[in-house]
Amino acid sequence: MSDLTHFNGQGRSRMVDVTGKEVTHRTASAAGAVAVSPEVLERIRSGTVKKGDVLAVAQVAGIMAAKRCWELIPMCHPLALTGVDLSFSLEESPCRVVIRSDVSCDGVTGVEMEALTAVSAAALTIYDMCKAMQKDMVIGPIRLLRKAGGKSGDYCAQEEE
């Protein structure tokens, strides 16, 4: 079991000790989408969803989720994030809200999970705010677009959205 970094000597899960790792600037971007009906897309665009400004609330939800990722995902470390931003685009064909997050920190571990968590929470918020109008919205796929910094180096998805 010694090869497996997230297991202790008893074969049980553990959070990896990152004490000796070098502090570097780390960034990650993730994306996802929520497929909606044309009517829901227009209501989001026009700001006429009864629960309020869908994208403004999703923006805040994504930022909050990135900051609290370590409380949601068991093996994540708490990080002092230096930046979290989300952007949204409304697409007609296919009819969907595309979400992108960009996260950064100066730390000893990467921010990929924070970027993915931000997109996930924003997507769930969009669903929650629009579910009275449409129950069959589809969330996904959610994926890492790119990451930079750290020992494992940079990553860029083959087809970045």
In terms of DSSP H, where are the helices of 26-159?
A: 38-46, 54-67, 69-72, 112-130
Domain that holds residue 119: 24-145
The pLDDT of residue 2: 54
Is pLDDT above 70 for 122?
yes
pLDDT-derived band of residue 20, with 50, 70 and 90 as boundaries?
confident
Asked whether residue 156 is assigned to any structural domain, the reply reads no
Statement: the pTM of the whole predicted model exceeds 0.85: yes
Annotated catalytic sites, by residue? 128
Domain count, the chain: 1
Asked whether residue 119 is assigned to any structural domain, the reply reads yes
Do the annotations mark residue 6 as ligand-binding? no
Do the annotations mark residue 113 as ligand-binding? yes
Give the integer Cα–Cα distance in Å for 111 and 30: 10
Residue-averaged pLDDT of the chain: 94
Do the annotations mark residue 75 as ligand-binding? yes
CATH of residue 67's domain is 3.30.70.640
